[in-house]
Structure 1
Amino acid sequence: MAKKSRTKSRPQTAPGEVGPRQPCPCGSGKRYKACHGAPGGAAEVYVARPFAGLASECDIVAMRELVPAAVASLRLTADPERVVKLCTLLPMAAPAMVRDSGEIWLGLQVQHNFGDPARDLGAALEAALDAVGREETGAIGLTDPPGPGARFQDLVDDAALTVEVQEGFDFWFADVDEDDRAAATAALEQANAVAQPTARLAGVEAAYWTNVGTKEHLRWVMPEPEDRLLDALARLHAAGKDVLVDGSRFVGMFRAHGLLAPVWDLPVGTGPEVLEEPAQRIAADLAAALADDSNLTTAERSARSGLANRQVTLR
């Protein structure tokens, strides 16, 4: 008797879903089936698209996952006069800091992940506000799951952020006296050593050029639902309209916090300035492809399959 094929009985994973043997997007390091995909799930609620609805959702995801050093100022709904600065990374990967000036800084790249980064940010912000009320300054920790409560979206004014990419982390000590800055020189040098040159394109949203030494990349976080975006990118790829500059190559995508971030490899020496016009062209072609409801052609279906296989899930 012939053996039955086991491949037919395997559960199929829909585009955008996490397979049972893939890493859990919560960042625990466990397979999905042993973490948030297990019966009963993990102890913390997992939110697949935590920053949905925010005007700068794509930039926040980029700052959390892709950009080494950047800051963006925002305002609180309950206290518009208080300065709050959103930062990619803070010293010691702290979730928040209260500065001597009374400013509150929030860190996006942190060591914890309790399932809902927007709730984690909200809890860190609330803890920083409590510290301000007690006239305390310094780093704010978040060592335990915060439980139910206000999320980031509930506490801040949802205006589009102006992201300021930094060359390194010298901004950590912009308001610190020389003696304190000298004491942290080693930590600052270590952080700056891994801060790859990065720039945000001005003509499109949430597209970041970076130089990793051996090559350059453009990483572009996009807000559209994954299925629709894959269809549109497949149409562009099949038509040869996804080429940024001579020698560039569309190589795949990151998936992070419910969004896709297409990635292009660029020749060394490209720089960000020459990408502005072709990125705007691709954005226009992509908008037209997103509006196209016709069935994919054979070539487009083949391109879509190839793109779907070149995705790396970060979170």
Structure 2
Amino acid sequence: MGKKSRVKARSVESTPGEVGPRQPCPCGSGRRYKSCHGSASGAPATWSARPFEGLPDEADLIALREFVPAATAPLKVKGSDRTVKLATLLPGAAPALVRDNGTIWLGLQVQHAYGDPSRDLAAVLELALEAEPGTLVGLTADPGDGPRLQDLIDGDLDITVHDGFDYWAEDLDDPDGSMAAVLEQANAAASPTVRLDGVGSAYWTAMGEREFLRWVRPEDEDTLLDALARLHAAGKDTLVDGGRLIGMFRAHGVLVPVWEFPFGTGAEAIAGPVAELDALLTETLADTSPLSTEERASRAGLASRQLTVR
């Protein structure tokens, strides 16, 4: 495209009173206008900026959905005595499985793209509760209005992080070894992950020769950024020698700060320092005084370092 054509294209996109197709959609979805309310089909009617807000384990649920490879947690469904197990990932990335014994497995890492993951999960769970044993359950269309996960489950999550996906084979016969082959491949692709004791939603992981802490924080984004900036400017956000806060990413309406550590550090070495930082961060979050010049510079730097760590 020539220079004049580029100028013309930009002028079309920036017509006063209109939203350009490549600009963020005014609805706040985070998507480009052309892929949201500017598309022929429009945005999903049930879109939610923070779909798991209100659940007592919101931050851990986000971690399990977004980056923890293998974990499970029993779910207590209101008004039902059915055994339901929440799992990060199921065989074939299935949304849900009803086992032969009637136990329901609900998969978290499923992208239905209907706008509200909480509503999608609830719709799958409702279908699974009515399905026959031995059935694979999923959505084939937008479920529309209806209860969300917050409406269907009770209690806290008792999370177990697994070394791999061997839980897939619980109570299953494998006469031809096909499941064993699937497990071997899946386990080889799973990065070692540890949920730190005593600190909510903080997960250590090793990827090759790199180690990270991904810590899902439920606080308001601006408040959290201010607190992290104060600690960063004061040099109080370093957990171990050679470790550093390298940035953060957003997931389901909250921020996930990320630290990187020297190879060989391990989860045990950071557990105590993370607990200490958690207490210090809680104290700093209560500070509402204006940021200093150095703290504002730290905040700008942190806000600009958006990461994808997979």
TM norm structure 2:
0.88
* 1:139 match: 136
Q: What secondary structure is seen at the aligned counterpart in 2 of 1:308?
A: helix
- Confirm or deny: 8 A CA contact 2:95 2:108 kept in the other structure: yes
- Confirm or deny: 8 A CA contact 1:96 1:124 kept in the other structure: yes
- Does the alignment pair 1:47 with 2:62? no
Match of 1:20 among 20, 23, 26: 23
Q: Which amino acid aligns with 1:154?
A: D
Query: Relative to 1, partners in 2 of residues 1:172 and 1:47: Cα closer, same or farther, differing over 3 Å?
Result: same
Query: Relative to 1, partners in 2 of residues 1:150 and 1:100: Cα closer, same or farther, differing over 3 Å?
Result: same
* 2:63 match: 62
Pairs within 5 Å for 1:117-266: 117-131=117-131, 135-157=132-154, 159-179=155-175, 182-266=177-261
Query: Relative to 1, partners in 2 of residues 1:103 and 1:136: Cα closer, same or farther, differing over 3 Å?
Result: closer
Q: What secondary structure is seen at the aligned counterpart in 2 of 1:126?
A: helix
- Confirm or deny: 8 A CA contact 1:71 1:85 kept in the other structure: yes
Pairs within 5 Å for 1:46-125: 46-79=47-80, 81-125=81-125
- Confirm or deny: 8 A CA contact 2:99 2:133 kept in the other structure: no
- Confirm or deny: 8 A CA contact 1:58 1:221 kept in the other structure: yes
The CA distance in 2 between the partners of 1:252 and 1:88, in whole Å, is 25
- Confirm or deny: 8 A CA contact 1:234 1:307 kept in the other structure: yes
Number of aligned residue pairs: 291
The CA distance in 2 between the partners of 1:286 and 1:274, in whole Å, is 19
The CA distance in 2 between the partners of 1:193 and 1:313, in whole Å, is 21
Q: Which amino acid aligns with 1:144?
A: A
Which blocks of at least 5 consecutive residues in structure 2 are unaligned? 1-9, 15-21
The CA distance in 1 between the partners of 2:51 and 2:240, in whole Å, is 34
Q: Which has the higher contact order (CA 8 A, sep 6+)?
A: 1
Query: Relative to 1, partners in 2 of residues 1:104 and 1:234: Cα closer, same or farther, differing over 3 Å?
Result: same
Identity score, percent: 56
- Confirm or deny: 8 A CA contact 1:255 1:313 kept in the other structure: no
| Deviation, structure 1 residue 178 | 3.1
CA deviation string 1:265-298 (max 9, x = no partner): 0111111111111001111111111100100000
* 1:296 match: 291
Query: Relative to 1, partners in 2 of residues 1:25 and 1:261: Cα closer, same or farther, differing over 3 Å?
Result: farther
* 1:15 match: none
Find runs of 4+ consecutive structure 1 residues off by over 6 angstroms. 24-27
| Deviation, structure 1 residue 21 | 5.3
Q: What secondary structure is seen at the aligned counterpart in 2 of 1:275?
A: helix
Query: Relative to 1, partners in 2 of residues 1:109 and 1:201: Cα closer, same or farther, differing over 3 Å?
Result: same
| Deviation, structure 1 residue 136 | 3.1
Q: Which amino acid aligns with 1:46?
A: W
Which blocks of at least 5 consecutive residues in structure 1 are unaligned? 1-5, 11-18
Q: What secondary structure is seen at the aligned counterpart in 2 of 1:78?
A: coil
Q: What secondary structure is seen at the aligned counterpart in 1 of 2:77?
A: coil
Q: What secondary structure is seen at the aligned counterpart in 1 of 2:175?
A: helix
Q: Which amino acid aligns with 2:64?
A: M
- Confirm or deny: 8 A CA contact 2:45 2:115 kept in the other structure: yes
